[in-house]
Structure 1
Amino acid sequence: MDNTKWIWDKRSETINTPEEGYVEWLRKTGTNEIYDFHIVHHTNDCMYDEQRNFQEDKSDTPGNHLKYYIGTEGLIRLLRLLGDDKVINRQELITLVQRIQVPGYDIDLNSFDEAYAES
């Protein structure tokens, strides 16, 4: 299994290194509710459009480089986030933790989904 590859949420393209990736989510201004977690390429055309999200949903777009969430320290950061009572969908965040922390999770899950669709 390859733990240095992840699948970009928006287009199912591969992120080959932690430096290419970015983890982002939305946070509702006023209530601070946290939702819509994504792994994306760290480029402006892939990441949330901060101005549009604020205008449409009154949400800001926190996040950080994928490498910040890898390994033991990264797991601790993700678990702290999971403990935040403002997270709307904990299962969504748990899946993100699995995708980042379990070696090959994204690649293997994608292969399973393709095989299942073909059968």
Structure 2
Amino acid sequence: MQRRHTARHLIDAYRISARRACRVLRLQRASFAYQARRRDDTVLRQRLHELAQVRVRYGSQRLYILLRREGWPNNHKRVHRLYCLEGLNLRSKRPRRNRAAAHRLERLPLGRLHQIL
């Protein structure tokens, strides 16, 4: 990203070609010309939200499988990214209390130092 800005500055300020600016900066010309395109994910986000409302305990992997069965051509990484952006992450379960502690014998109060029984 920094090299692309520098290349743009060289082209504008010194009026050199893009080819020469990229060569000086060791920047691929394809990288210089690249422009990112985002797909519109609103419909997929809406469907993911609907599935998450119906299947409350399903995580992103399971919802991805349901989407694939419906014919959505998205990979698991995109589904997981949208799942996190929508705030659908499952809360982690709280650890259960150790039940072995309830079965311990009651301790008797000690009357003297080093008293066993």
| Pair in the same fold by TM > 0.5 | no
Which structure has the larger Rg?
A: 2
Greater fraction strand: 1
Q: Give the TM-score category using the shorter length.
A: under 0.3
Greater fraction helix: 2
Identify the structure with bigger relative contact order (alpha carbons < 8 Å, sequence gap 6+).
Answer: 1
> TM-score, structure 1 length as denominator?
0.21
